[in-house]
Amino acid sequence: MRTRLHRILAAMVGLGFVFGGTSFGQESKVAAAATATFDKGDTAWMLASCALVLFMTPGLAFFYGGLVRSKNVLSTMMHSYFCLGLCTVVWFAVGGGIAFGPSIGGYFGNPSELAFLNGVGHEDIWDPTGKGIGTVPVFVFFTFQMMFAIITPALISGAFAERIKFSAFCVFTAFWLLLVYCPICHWVWNGGLLSDTDHSWLKTLGLPGAIDFAGGTVVHISSGVSALVFCLFLGKRRGYPDQPMPPHNLPLCLLGAGMLWFGWFGFNAGSEGATDGVTGSAFLVTHICAATAGLSWAIIEWVHRGKASALGVATGVVAGLVCITPASGAVYPREALIMGIVVALVCYLFVAVIKARFRYDDSLDVFGVHGVGGTVGALLSGVLCTEALGKNPGGAQFAAQFVSVVVTWVYAGGMTLLFLVILDKTIGVRATEDDELAGLDISQHGEKGYQV
């Protein structure tokens, strides 16, 4: 009876795409333990990486929460914490299947195999090639990817901080995860349109698959571009930029940045899916790029404004982490150092100069750090990748990176705009003027972050 119920639920959430597992030209990626080799070391590292990546979302809550005004600290942190629940359930029900189920023409996965993990047991191994060479249980791989699905929509929340209705945030997040994140995830990491397979658009252009080791395109460009569209659609905070709106708690912000840095080792090094030399290399280059970018940002700010700020160092570190993400399994430490310097220069330009000139209110610089930093990292991956790690730097790879960036920009931005138009005409997106002036902590959640 229980199995029958699971099957009924899987069919319902398939939304018309549940047509029968492997009938779309891609073999099942779930292998029995008898046909694949379970590895304790790989599994242990992946479990640790799951915890590290999960830790990043509370870190993001602290990072964003410290940057807003005190009357909005809880509402801002709530966005990240609510994603822990909402995105987990959406991913478990259907999102994981759309991202990693058997491919339907390279566009998205058939959720029948992974919806509610129906029929998957604790001994089943995730077999990415379909050839019986997997080493990690399906449950572990699914959980690792779930952590990515949690934090990616949460990143967008920094762009609309202090002025969105909570109900609109909830609906937008669920649909964005299903219809933007999951398809792009499939395109890059599951043999879809931007991979190096028969379904790939890049292959029809004579190009290799896009390099995106840990989510520069899938996570940071998609969320950063969506953030830009969101803040432009929503409009500026009331009083911005004429009224000063400084961060209310920089120590909170620095705590969050440290948590992000710590968790990012699981984000990048965990994306190897194993414990080997690439795992160690990804771990090292992640740290070098982050440290270099934080140092470079401080120097640039010191020269430009006369002082190096703690917020600047934290922002530079995050920009470095974003930049190295797509390349973390494709570059060596020297290249990571170069990437840290370049991304600090480019992101500082967008955050400190371009945003002020064009006066758009990307509240917490999501686009300037994640959208721009992810784009820089994706493009540099095609130039600085090394043959020692199985990549071929040059014109063809750079062209593949450029195409993948453009496709992600257009798709993520266009779908975000579509969602916002629909939401605005139905339930409304922006909080009322009275609610915004009172603060979203009180108006949306009925509580205060600080009691005087």
Structure letter (DSSP) for residue 29: -
Model confidence over 39-77: pLDDT tens digits? Answer: 999 999 999 999 999 999 999 999 999 999 999 999 999
The two tokens of residue 54 are: 């999960």
Could you tell me the residue range of the domain that residue 53 belongs to?
29-237+244-440
* Average pLDDT rounded to a whole number, residues 445-450: 96
Q: What is the CATH number of the domain that holds 64?
A: 1.10.3430.10
**From residue 105, how far is each of 110, 201, 368 by CA, in Å?**
10, 11, 34
For β-strands 108-109 and 136-137, DSSP reports them as: unpaired
Residue 5 lies in a domain: no
Residue 24 lies in a domain: no
* pLDDT above 90: residue 30: no
Residue 53's nearest CA partner among 260, 201, 240 is 260
Burial class from Cβ neighbours inside 10 Å (0-12, 13-18, 19+) for residue 403 reads middle
Residue 257 lies in a domain: yes
Model confidence over 153-163: pLDDT tens digits? Answer: 999 999 999 99
Residue 452 lies in a domain: no
**From residue 416, how far is each of 75, 407, 409 by CA, in Å?**
22, 14, 11
Are 205 and 403 in contact by the 8 Å Cβ rule? The answer is yes
* Average pLDDT rounded to a whole number, residues 359-386: 97
Residue 7 lies in a domain: no
**From residue 265, how far is each of 52, 159, 269, 395 by CA, in Å?**
7, 25, 6, 30
Residue 418 lies in a domain: yes
pTM of the model: 0.93
Model confidence over 328-348: pLDDT tens digits? Answer: 999 999 999 999 999 999 999
Residue 16 lies in a domain: no
Least confident of 45-59, 129-143, 312-326, 403-417: 129-143
* Average pLDDT rounded to a whole number, residues 402-415: 98
Orientation of helix 138-156 relative to helix 182-189, angle to 10°: 130
Q: For residue 28, what pLDDT is reported?
A: 74
The two tokens of residue 317 are: 């570190």
Residue 8 lies in a domain: no
Neighbouring-strand partners of residue 30: 126
Say how far apart CA 367 and CA 373 lie, in whole Å: 8
Say how far apart CA 74 and CA 450 lie, in whole Å: 9
Model confidence over 221-247: pLDDT tens digits? Answer: 999 999 999 999 999 999 999 999 999
Model confidence over 91-125: pLDDT tens digits? Answer: 999 999 999 999 999 999 998 889 999 989 999 99
Q: For residue 212, what pLDDT is reported?
A: 98
* pLDDT above 80: residue 357: yes
Residue 145 neighbours by CB under 8 Å, 6+ apart: 91, 96, 99, 100, 185
